[in-house]
Amino acid sequence: MLRQWREADLAPFALLNADPEVMAYFPDTLDSQQSDAMARRCASLIEQRG
């Protein structure tokens, strides 16, 4: 079971998504707006599916 995202999760998540080494197997790094959008999508899925 996953917990819901918290506001405090967004900044560290953005740092991970901006790191080229972390994102090496993804198409590209994400800026903070893109990262926040991904977090919102994940939060929505958690809300829908638990």
Name the phi and psi angles at 30, rounded to 5. Answer: -120, 140
Q: How far apart are the first and last CA of the chain?
A: 7
Average pLDDT rounded to a whole number, residues 19-27 = 98
CA distance 4 to 10: 12
CA distance 37 to 42: 9
State yes or no: pLDDT of 32 exceeds 80: yes
Helix (H) or strand (E) segment spanning residue 47: helix 32-49
Cβ 43 vs Cβ 5: under 8 Å: yes
State yes or no: pLDDT of 20 exceeds 90: yes
Task: Identify the band that residue 50 occupies on the pLDDT scale cut at 50, 70 and 90.
Answer: confident
State yes or no: pLDDT of 1 exceeds 90: no
State yes or no: pLDDT of 2 exceeds 90: no
